[in-house]
């Protein structure tokens, strides 16, 4: 059993989750502070990949970065560089697909943050960066961690956009999801079932982590209430 699809899936999931962590947190933070009308517009734009079919996202990425697109053709002619049909092409596609999960979860955490705490920090002369990393993030870490775990789980199982942008090449672009489809299409149900079981086990672990985080958060809140 070739384990490259597992390695590649984990690599893509880790890199794309790292990208959307920073992008999602900062976009969510600044979006939470804009006026209501603009916030609604930005929410719609940033959440759109979540409700679109992944194949539609993949099609749009091909139109933007594909070899026949302006950007794709330009990079191909000038640098002999392709945005598609590489393992890291899946990182681009996966990052777009999972970004809304990180963004919505982080924005929800920032919305519930007591801004009086940051105001107190400013009156004490603390810098904005210090307030963000030392006051805001620790108070919002439960929601943000949950967003990271959800994003990673979604990235690990991404298929639609990945299959269109990166394709399926054994030992190069194959992921768990594309491998399952390829094995099924070639009537190799036994090996496909092994990959399905492996994916289910990973998903169970991820869901348990999310549940543990939520329960820990509830326990902390209950202790805080009882102590006050």
CB count within 10 Å of CB 146 equals: 22
Q: How far apart are CA 20 and CA 155, in angstroms?
A: 11
| 162-176 pLDDT, tens digit each | 999 999 999 999 999
pTM for the whole structure: 0.87
205-219 mean pLDDT: 74
Residue 227: what pLDDT?
59
Give backbone dihedrals phi and psi of 171, rounded to 5 degrees, phi first. Answer: 80, 0
DSSP reduced 3-state for 220: helix
Question: Above 60 in pLDDT, residue 228?
Answer: no
Question: Above 80 in pLDDT, residue 69?
Answer: yes
Under a CB-based contact definition with an 8 Å cutoff, are residues 21 and 151 in contact? yes
Residue at token pair 């979860």: 105
CB count within 10 Å of CB 88 equals: 14
């Amino acid at each position: 059993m070739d384990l490259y699809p597992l390695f590649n899936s984990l690599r893509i999931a880790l890199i794309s989750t790292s990208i959307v962590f920073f992008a999602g947190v900062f976009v969510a933070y600044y979006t939470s502070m804009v006026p209501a009308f603009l916030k609604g517009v930005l929410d719609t734009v940033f959440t759109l990949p979540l409700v679109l079919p992944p194949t539609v996202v993949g099609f749009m990425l091909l139109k933007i970065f594909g070899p026949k697109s302006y950007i794709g053709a330009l990079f191909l002619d000038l640098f002999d560089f392709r945005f598609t049909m590489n393992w890291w092409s899946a990182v681009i596609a996966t990052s777009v697909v999972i970004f809304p999960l990180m963004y919505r979860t982080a924005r929800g955490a920032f919305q519930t943050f007591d801004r009086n705490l940051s105001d107190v920090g400013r009156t004490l002369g603390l810098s904005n960066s210090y307030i963000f990393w030392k006051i805001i993030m620790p108070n919002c870490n439960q929601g943000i961690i949950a967003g990271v775990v959800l994003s990673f789980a979604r990235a690990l199982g991404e298929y639609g956009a990945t299959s269109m942008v990166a394709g399926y090449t054994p030992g190069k672009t194959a992921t768990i999801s594309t491998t399952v489809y390829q094995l099924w299409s070639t009537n190799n149900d036994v090996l496909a079932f092994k990959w399905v079981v492996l994916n289910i086990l990973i998903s169970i672990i991820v869901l348990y982590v999310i549940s543990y985080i939520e329960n820990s958060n509830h326990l902390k809140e209950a202790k805080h209430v009882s102590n006050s």
